[in-house]
Amino acid sequence: MRTVEGVAAVDDVDAFLDRLGAIGADHDCAVQAFDARYVAGRDHLEAAVEHANRAFERGENVARDRSIEILLYAAGRRQINQALEMGVGEGEHRVVVVVDGEAGDEDAAATAVADCLTPAETLGPDGVDRDRVREFFAVTDAELAATDADLSELVRERVALLDVEK
C-alpha cells in the first residue's frame, strides 16, 4: 500500500473520482481518496486495506469494488452513504489517497495520483482532527479514560469490528 498526501482542489467530485478510478484501472490498483481530517494515521488506513483485501480473498466483501471496500473499512461502516463522509468533497481539502496493488503498479499509480494533488503532509500529528475523528467514530471520553489505547488504536478497533458486524 502506498499513500499520497496533498491538497486537492475539487470542482467536480465525480470528475475527480473518475480520474482516480481511471488511474486505478490503468495500473490495476485500488485507489481511494480520503478527507485527511477523518484519518487517524497511516496505521488506520493500513488496517482498512488489510481487512478489505482479506474480505475479497474470502469472498466476504460487501462492495464490488475494492476501493469502496477500503472506504467502508476505513469508515468502520457497512453503508456506503455513511462511509462517504470520509471521502473528498467539493472545494480545497487536505487529502490522503490510498493506492493498493502490485509493487511496481502501485509506484506508477501513486505517481499519477500525485499529479492530481498539490503536495502537502496530511497524516502527521498536526493533520489529524482529533475532535472530528472522535465524533465520526463515536469515541467517548469514558472510552479513552478506560484504556491505555490511543485514538488511532481505538479507530483501528472499529475497523476490525466491522468483520464481526457482518
- Summarize pLDDT for 65-91 with one digit per residue, the tens: 999 999 999 999 999 999 999 999 999
According to DSSP, residue 7 is labeled E
Give the E-state strand segments of the chain in sequence order: 2-10, 30-35, 91-100, 118-119
pLDDT tens track for 87-132: 999 999 999 999 999 877 999 999 999 999 999 999 877 777 899 9
Question: Any residues with CB less than 8 A from the CB of 86 and at least 6 apart, and which?
Answer: 34, 35, 38, 39, 71, 74, 75, 136
pLDDT tens across 2-37, in order? 999 999 999 999 999 999 999 999 999 999 999 999
Asked whether the beta carbons of 74 and 86 are under 8 A apart, the reply is: yes
